[in-house]
Structure 1
Amino acid sequence: MELIEAFDAGLEEFGRRVHQVGPGQWTAGTPCTEWSVRDLVNHLTSEHLWAPWLLRGATLTEVGDRFDGDVLGDEPVAAWDKAVAESEPAFHRPGALESEVYTSGGLLGAGEYAWQMTTDLAVHAWDLARGIGADDTLDEDLAATVYGYIEPQAKAWQGAGVFAPPVKVPASAPVQDRLMGLLGRRP
């Protein structure tokens, strides 16, 4: 699966689960122990509000604090949909993944940024599904693609505190389970 296909699959997986959140589920816990369902959706919605700006070359200072705090308001699903309506075309713009973007970690290739966003979409789709009691099965090609991307660098990401320490999963387990275990989740 190519990067942009994986990104689109991640958007689909996460977005489908956002649309499954029931009225009483926004305060439910998730495998991200510090985040409720609302916190998790807010995190990804904020990331997708940032994306068009960063892909146009804006610096962190230029974006400022406009996407800090609660970006979901009274209509979390609509807020997610609006963020994606701007984020998706920004990633698909010709040449968008060949530029560089400013991130909190410094200047980063836009392709690498897209991989990080895709990873976040996939793993948090699983987290969200677990939080709301929905089917947590990810697109198998997406899980395999993200696993192939993240596996060589997982230790560095864990060392930086991006993901929890890995959870042991048998090598014969499905790729989704190996991905979640690698990222500190218990499949």
Structure 2
Amino acid sequence: MPDFSHDGARRARVGRVTADARELLPAAIDRFGTRVHAVGDDRWAAPTPCASWSVADLVGHLCFEHLWAPHELAGTSMEQVGDRYEGDLLHDDPAGAWDRAAARSRPRWTAVAEHAPRVHTIFGWIPVAEYAEQMLLDLTVHEWDLARGAGLDERVDPDAVGRALAYLDADPVMLTGPGLFADPVPARSDGPQDRLLARLGRRVR
């Protein structure tokens, strides 16, 4: 069970869903990749629920996150990584760029024994298990954002949704970070996916 180094109640609420979010990351990466390869040629410039991001911009954001992941899992600081992943990561090939980023990130999530106990993020040094929660949440909500922008099936994996909701219920630092999410909106229904999306400011038609 992941240890977030916070209060015991918080650990219990998150831990009821699965043992370790890192176990869910490879499949989440694969699911996002399936979505990327389903985007039609005429949809890359389409808007997404993320303010000012097109479908291509959204894929670029995820490429950035997953190029960074191996460094963070190894315990490398943000200062050491520097600006090597700034700028255009897509080079007019969003699907290929995602495949390259995923090829670096995915195998690192299966090498659990090699992970640094704490990783350096925009929130400072945090336990690696919490970083995994953040990355799973990021993939899950952005999978929906991508589906909405690209006109794909908007159903998201229920296990990932449940895990993300449990993490949000634990009141993580991610919710109070520097403008990462829009303000919550009323949920369309009591269903887990609708509640997750509403919690993160997504309006579901």
TM-score by length of 1: 0.91
Which residue, out of 77, 81, 84, partners 1:59? 77
- Report SS of the residue matched to 2:38: coil
Residue from 164, 168, 171 that aligns with 2:186: 168
Cα offset, 1:159, TM superposition = 6.5
Matched, 1:122 2:140: yes
Match of 1:12 in 2: 30
Q: Report how many residues are paired.
A: 186
Q: Would the alpha carbon gap of residues 30 and 110 (structure 1) be closer, same or farther in structure 2, given more than 3 Å must change?
A: same
Change (3 A) 1:101 1:94: same
RMSD: 1.9
Q: In structure 1, how many angstroms separate the alpha carbons of the residues matched to 2:28 and 2:131? A: 14
Matched-pair identity in %: 45
Q: Deviations over 1:24-69 (max 9, x none)?
A: 2111100012211111000000100001111112221221111112
Secondary structure, counterpart of 1:19 in structure 2: helix
- Cα contact 1:166–1:184 (8 A) shared by 2: yes
Q: In the alignment, which residue of structure 2 is the partner of 1:50?
A: 68
Aligned positions of 1:1-187 closer than 5 A: 1=18, 2-97=20-115, 99-153=117-171, 157-158=175-176, 160-169=178-187, 173-187=190-204
Could you list the runs of 4 or more consecutive aligned residues of structure 1 that deviate by over 3 angstroms after TM superposition?
Answer: none
**Alignment gaps of 5+ in structure 2:** 1-17
Q: Residue type matched to 1:130 in 2?
A: R
State the 1:8 CA deviation: 2.7
In 2, Cα distance between the equivalents of 1:118 and 1:69? 24
Output one character per residue of 1:106-159: Cα deviation in whole Å (capped at 9) or x when no partner.
111111111111100000000000000000101111111111111231697156
How many Å apart are 1:12 and its aligned residue? 2.7
Aligned residues of 1:31 and 1:185 also touching (Cα < 8 A): yes
Flag structure 1 segments of 5+ consecutive residues without an equivalent. Answer: none
